[in-house]
Structure 1
């Protein structure tokens, strides 16, 4: 009779903790989407760079709106297996001549960003 109580108690405990325990044992791949943005590449950006130079450093943008071709959006989305997803953005603005005039988002510009290219 005693072993029946022990078996019932272990089954109840296994069902209560089983889902969270099994969830951690199951392998989940890391999901990377969008642009891979490296902070060191962002620090190399300088005021006055052309679109071609920016593309060489960061790669092609994720989005260029048809109505606003001088605004480029770089988006990096990372969801590690069992962790919370992370999303970082970088928005670059160009003037009508195609040179870099502004930057905003989750990345910090380098010390030389506001020094024009010579």
Structure 2
């Protein structure tokens, strides 16, 4: 099995992992995606200088799969980013609830501390 075939197999596995992504099993999926990307990157370093007709056809399929994989990776990234934003909002809200007089007033009211 040459490098192009291995890269194609890794790309198919990557596409399958992304298509089966579920938020509940996000950590396992991300670990699997990272390992597949790392393995695929290592095999890309071993690519030959010239390609046969079969290897060129597989290369075109890999490029097509990458066009499906990239939006999937972006949606996973956006999902994580949204969760982080929501977590920060929850922390800020709970902090304001516990300490309502700390920080700037929300309603524009000014309290004079000199009196």
Normalised to the residue count of structure 2, the TM-score between the two structures is 0.29
More contact order relative to length (CA 8 Å, sep ≥ 6): 2
Bigger share in helix: 2
Normalised to the residue count of structure 1, the TM-score between the two structures is 0.28
Bigger share in strand: 1
